[in-house]
A and B are shown apart, each in its own frame.
Chain A
Amino acid sequence: MSLPPAAPGPVPGAVPGPTFDELRTPDGTLRVGWDELAALVEAPLDWARLQDEVDRRLADDNVTFRPWTTDEDDGEAGEARFDDDDDVDEPQPWRLDPVPLVLHSREWREVERGLVQRAELLSAIFHDLYGDRRLLTDGVLPPELVLGHPGYLRPLVGARQAGGLFMVGASLGRAGDGGWLVGAHQTQAPVGAGYAMENRRVLSRVHAELYREADLVRLTPFYQAMRAALVESGPRGVEDPHVVVLTPGTHAATAFDQAFLASRLGFPLVEGNDLVVRDGRVWLRSLGRLEPVDVIFRHVSARATDPLELQPGSRLGVAGLTEVVRRGAVSVVNSLGTGVLENPGLMAFDDRICHHLLEEPLRLPSLPSWWCGEAASRSHVVTQLDRLRVAQIGSGEVWEGSLLSAEERDTLRRRVEADPHLYVGHEPLPLSTTPSVREGRLVPERFHLTGYLIRHGSTYAALPGGLGEIRTEPVAVSYGPHTVSGRPTKDLWIVSGDDLPPASGDEGDMVAEMIAGTRAMMPRVLDDLFWMGRYAERAEDTVRLVSATHHVLVELNMVSRPGSPVDTLLDSLYAMTTTPRPADATSVLRQLRTLLVNRSRRGTVARSLARLSHAADGVRDQLSSDVWVVLAGAERALDQLRRRGLDDSSALGDAAEHSLVALLALNGITAENMVRDAGWQLLDTGRALERAIQVVGLLQTCFTVPALRRGVTADEQGRWSTPPDQMVLAAAMTAAESVVTHRRRHGGRPELSTALDLLVSDRTNPRSVAFQVERIDAALRRLPHAPTSGRPQRLLTDLAELTTATAVQRVSHGEPAVAPPALDETGVETVPVAAPGPNPVQCVDGYLVDLRSRLFSLSEAISEAYLTREPQPRPLWVAADLPPGPAGSGM
Chain B
Amino acid sequence: MRTFRIRHETAYHYGGPITSSYGLYHLSPREIERQHVLGHRVDVTPVPADRSSYVDVYGNLRTWYHVTEPHTDLVIVGTTDIDIGPQCLDADLLALPWEQCRPDLRRDVPDWWEAVDFTLPSPRVDVLPQVGEYAAPSFGRARPLGEAVEELNHRIHADFAYDPRATSVTTRVADVLRIRAGVCQDFSQLMVACLRSVGLAGRYVSGYLATVPAPGRPRNIGADATHAWAGVWVPGAGWYDLDPTNDRPVDESHATVAWGRDYSDVAPVRGVIFGAGGGSSMKVSVDMAPIEQSTFPAP
Q: 7 tightest CB-CB pairs across the interface, nearest first?
A: A890-B270, A888-B264, A885-B170, A876-B271, A873-B272, A143-B113, A143-B116
* Chain A residues within an 8 Å CB radius of B186: none
Interface residue? B66 (CB, 8 A): yes
- A872-891 residues with Cβ-Cβ distance < 8 A to B are 873-880, 882, 884-891
Interface residue? B285 (CB, 8 A): no
Known: A147-B116, A888-B123, A888-B124. A876 touches B107 (CB 8 A): no
Interface residue? B83 (CB, 8 A): no
Interface residue? A326 (CB, 8 A): yes
- Selected interface stretch from B16-24, B153-161, B214-222: B16-24
A sample of 10 more A-B contacts (CB under 8 A), given A136-B113, A154-B265, A308-B22, is A143-B116, A148-B120, A154-B56, A874-B273, A875-B272, A877-B281, A882-B170, A885-B168, A886-B170, A889-B169
Q: Report how far A874 CA is from B20 CA in the complex, Å.
A: 11
Interface residue? A309 (CB, 8 A): yes
The minimal Cβ–Cβ distance linking A117 to chain B, given in whole angstroms, is 27
Kindly report which residue of chain A lies nearest to residue B23, judged by CB atoms: A876
A139 and B116 contacting across the interface, CB-CB below 8 Å: no
B271 and A875 contacting across the interface, CB-CB below 8 Å: yes
A144 and B120 contacting across the interface, CB-CB below 8 Å: yes
Interface residue? A278 (CB, 8 A): yes
B119's partner among A144, A276, A280 (CB-CB below 8 A) is A144
The minimal Cβ–Cβ distance linking B151 to chain A, given in whole angstroms, is 26
* Chain B residues within an 8 Å CB radius of A326: 54
Interface residue? A155 (CB, 8 A): yes
Interface residue? B267 (CB, 8 A): yes
Interface residue? B296 (CB, 8 A): no
Kindly report which residue of chain A lies nearest to residue B55, judged by CB atoms: A158
Q: Which of B49, B168, B264, B270 has the most CB of A within 10 A?
A: B270
Kindly report which residue of chain B lies nearest to residue A418, judged by CB atoms: B129
* Chain A residues within an 8 Å CB radius of B10: 891
A876 and B21 contacting across the interface, CB-CB below 8 Å: yes
* Chain B residues within an 8 Å CB radius of A320: 22, 64, 66
Interface residue? B237 (CB, 8 A): no
- B256-299 residues with Cβ-Cβ distance < 8 A to A are 262-265, 267-276, 279-282
* Chain A residues within an 8 Å CB radius of B262: 888
Interface residue? A871 (CB, 8 A): yes
Q: Could you name 25 residue pairs across A and B whose Cβ atoms are closer than 8 Å?
A: A136-B113, A143-B113, A143-B114, A144-B120, A147-B116, A155-B57, A157-B56, A277-B66, A278-B66, A278-B68, A319-B22, A319-B272, A320-B66, A323-B52, A326-B54, A874-B272, A875-B273, A882-B170, A884-B170, A885-B168, A887-B123, A888-B123, A891-B169, A891-B271, A891-B282
Q: Report how far A875 CA is from B52 CA in the complex, Å.
A: 20
Interface size class of A (residues with CB under 8 A): 35 or more
Q: Report how far A323 CA is from B65 CA in the complex, Å.
A: 9
- B214-268 residues with Cβ-Cβ distance < 8 A to A are 262-265, 267-268
Known: A278-B68, A888-B124. A873 touches B273 (CB 8 A): yes
- B122-181 residues with Cβ-Cβ distance < 8 A to A are 123-124, 168-170
Which residues of A approach B to under 8 Å, CB–CB?
136-137, 139, 143-144, 147-148, 154-155, 157-158, 276-280, 307-309, 312, 319-320, 323, 326-327, 870-871, 873-880, 882, 884-891
The minimal Cβ–Cβ distance linking B44 to chain A, given in whole angstroms, is 12
Known: A279-B49, A323-B64. A890 touches B271 (CB 8 A): yes
* Chain A residues within an 8 Å CB radius of B56: 154-155, 157
* Chain A residues within an 8 Å CB radius of B274: 319, 870-871, 873-874
B50 and A279 contacting across the interface, CB-CB below 8 Å: yes
Q: Report how far A309 CA is from B281 CA in the complex, Å.
A: 22
Interface residue? B117 (CB, 8 A): yes
* Chain A residues within an 8 Å CB radius of B273: 873-876
Q: Report how far A143 CA is from B280 CA in the complex, Å.
A: 42
A891 and B270 contacting across the interface, CB-CB below 8 Å: yes
Q: Report how far A875 CA is from B124 CA in the complex, Å.
A: 18
Q: Which of A139, A147, A327, A886 has the most CB of B within 10 A?
A: A147
A891 and B267 contacting across the interface, CB-CB below 8 Å: yes
* Chain A residues within an 8 Å CB radius of B268: 891
Q: Which of B12, B49, B170, B279 has the most CB of A within 10 A?
A: B170
B113 and A877 contacting across the interface, CB-CB below 8 Å: no
Q: Report how far A279 CA is from B48 CA in the complex, Å.
A: 10
The minimal Cβ–Cβ distance linking B268 to chain A, given in whole angstroms, is 7
* Chain B residues within an 8 Å CB radius of A874: 272-274
What are the interface flags for B20-58 relative to A under an 8 Å C-beta threshold, 1 for contact and 0 otherwise? Answer: 111110000000000000000000000001101011110
B119 and A879 contacting across the interface, CB-CB below 8 Å: no
Known: A876-B23, A888-B264, A890-B267. A147 touches B117 (CB 8 A): yes
Q: Report how far A229 CA is from B63 CA in the complex, Å.
A: 33
Known: A144-B120, A326-B54, A327-B52. A888 touches B270 (CB 8 A): yes
The minimal Cβ–Cβ distance linking A380 to chain B, given in whole angstroms, is 20
Kindly report which residue of chain A lies nearest to residue B117, judged by CB atoms: A147
Q: Report how far A880 CA is from B295 CA in the complex, Å.
A: 40
B269's partner among A327, A871, A891 (CB-CB below 8 A) is A891
Q: Which of B10, B23, B74 has the most CB of A within 10 A?
A: B23
* Chain A residues within an 8 Å CB radius of B104: 144
Q: Which of B12, B116, B123 has the most CB of A within 10 A?
A: B116
A887 and B124 contacting across the interface, CB-CB below 8 Å: yes
* Chain B residues within an 8 Å CB radius of A879: 168-169
Kindly report which residue of chain B lies nearest to residue A321, judged by CB atoms: B22
B271 and A308 contacting across the interface, CB-CB below 8 Å: yes
Q: Report how far A871 CA is from B17 CA in the complex, Å.
A: 13
The minimal Cβ–Cβ distance linking B100 to chain A, given in whole angstroms, is 18
Kindly report which residue of chain B lies nearest to residue A137, judged by CB atoms: B113
Q: Report how far A148 CA is from B113 CA in the complex, Å.
A: 12
Q: Report how far A139 CA is from B116 CA in the complex, Å.
A: 13
The minimal Cβ–Cβ distance linking A168 to chain B, given in whole angstroms, is 25
B169 and A885 contacting across the interface, CB-CB below 8 Å: yes
Q: Which of A158, A327, A877 has the most CB of B within 10 A?
A: A877
B272's partner among A136, A148, A307 (CB-CB below 8 A) is A307
The minimal Cβ–Cβ distance linking B293 to chain A, given in whole angstroms, is 33
Q: Report how far A871 CA is from B22 CA in the complex, Å.
A: 14
A158's partner among B50, B57, B107 (CB-CB below 8 A) is B57
B123 and A878 contacting across the interface, CB-CB below 8 Å: no
Known: A278-B68, A873-B274, A888-B270. A308 touches B116 (CB 8 A): no
Q: Report how far A886 CA is from B265 CA in the complex, Å.
A: 14
Q: Report how far A323 CA is from B264 CA in the complex, Å.
A: 17
* Chain B residues within an 8 Å CB radius of A885: 168-170
Q: Report how far A884 CA is from B22 CA in the complex, Å.
A: 17
Q: Report how far A269 CA is from B169 CA in the complex, Å.
A: 38
B272 and A144 contacting across the interface, CB-CB below 8 Å: no
The minimal Cβ–Cβ distance linking A370 to chain B, given in whole angstroms, is 18
